[in-house]
Amino acid sequence: MAHRHPEAPNSSACEDNIGINQPNNPHRTVQTKVVIPNYHGEKLVGILHDTGSKELVIVCHGIKSVKERIPMASLAAAIENTGISAFRFDFAGNGESEGLFRYGNYRREAEDLHAVVQLFQKIGHVITTIIGHSKGGNVVLLYAAKYHDVHRVVNISGRFDLEKGIEGRLGKNFLDRIQSSGFIDVGSKSGKFQYRVTKESLMDRLSTDMRAACHLIPENCRVLTVHGSMDQIVPVKDALEFDKIITNHVLRIIQGADHEYTSHQNELVKVVLDFIRDHSRCNDTMEHSPSRVHGLSSISPRL
């Protein structure tokens, strides 16, 4: 049975309107801070790159990240330069948004994204693409599996098996430790407290099945997975698993790129923009070929 939510209310605040003419951008862009309530009454804060176009791309960050970091900021700026509007925001409990940070929270963050999509649809925007980096990649895929109102999705370095990669953050024997105390406090390398992982939030992550979710993504939803070959956080083999399961899927591996694409922002931006611009081939694929559509290519950085 489909889950229904009340309509997201109108954004409650818009401020810091700044008219910007960038050197290589012929479009006059207004960047506006927008505040959108989620379904729990928490205020989600984002930046709208408004080019005047009703087409809108939404960009989502990863775990313990914010809308100002790469690759979110660089992607939004590049999308803006094409004349398409973009919106990057902080999930609840992150950055400027209200709420508590939660370690798991994948499906709840998909609901945050739904509140954002509904708001912009209500005021006349057409959401053409949703983009997520790292944990945000999982969120946009979960969104596509549940809500079928956005037909292009970009998963940047998302993790396929959410049972993996936990020990690196929580340490050895994390299950026994959290069963015993009910929580684990995560600190920096210097020992400074960063955040608390509760048993409930860990179980939320462990119960999030990306394989099952990917099977629910409809065939008319075109998905791009991008991954760096030198990613030390999420192994590149996870991208290959997404490619095996998602029906209408393109896989791009960027050679030499790490998890943040630190030295490969230009290559990442090019791959994502090519996908966003690819309206006609997307439509032709679905109209003329009901079979699985996959593309795999490797991109080396320009010297």
pLDDT tens digits for 87-98?
A: 999 999 999 999
Residue 15's pLDDT is 46
Does the pLDDT value for residue 191 go beyond 90? no
Q: Which range (22-31, 53-62, 63-72, 107-116) has the least confidence?
A: 22-31
Q: Is residue 83 within 8 Å of residue 65, measured between CB atoms? A: no
Q: Is residue 22 within 8 Å of residue 5, measured between CB atoms? A: no
Mapping DSSP to helix (H, G, I), strand (E, B) and coil, where does residue 278 land? Answer: coil
Q: Is residue 238 within 8 Å of residue 160, measured between CB atoms? A: yes
Cα 141 to chain centroid, rounded: 8
The CA distance from 104 to 102, in Å, is: 6
Residue 28's pLDDT is 72
The CA distance from 243 to 239, in Å, is: 6
Does the pLDDT value for residue 283 go beyond 80? no
The CA distance from 116 to 123, in Å, is: 11
The CA distance from 166 to 186, in Å, is: 11
Strands, E assignment, the chain: 13-20, 29-37, 43-50, 55-60, 85-89, 126-133, 152-156, 183-187, 193-198, 222-228, 248-254, 293-299
Residue 2's pLDDT is 42
Does the pLDDT value for residue 299 go beyond 60? no
Q: Which residues fall within 8 angstroms of residue 33, CB to CB, at 6 or more apart? A: 13, 14, 15, 16, 45, 46, 47, 48
B/e letters for 22-38, b = 16+ CB within 10 Å, e = fewer, are eeebebebebbbbbbbb
pTM, two decimals, is 0.85
Specify the CATH number for 13-162+208-299; select among 3.40.50.1820, 3.30.429.10, 3.40.50.300, 3.50.50.60: 3.40.50.1820
Axis crossing angle, helix 135-146 with helix 106-122, rounded to the nearest 10 = 60
Tell me what the mean pLDDT of segment 265-293 comes to.
Answer: 68
Q: Which range (48-52, 192-196, 231-235, 282-286) has the least confidence?
A: 282-286
Residue 190's pLDDT is 78
User: What single DSSP character describes residue 295?
Assistant: E
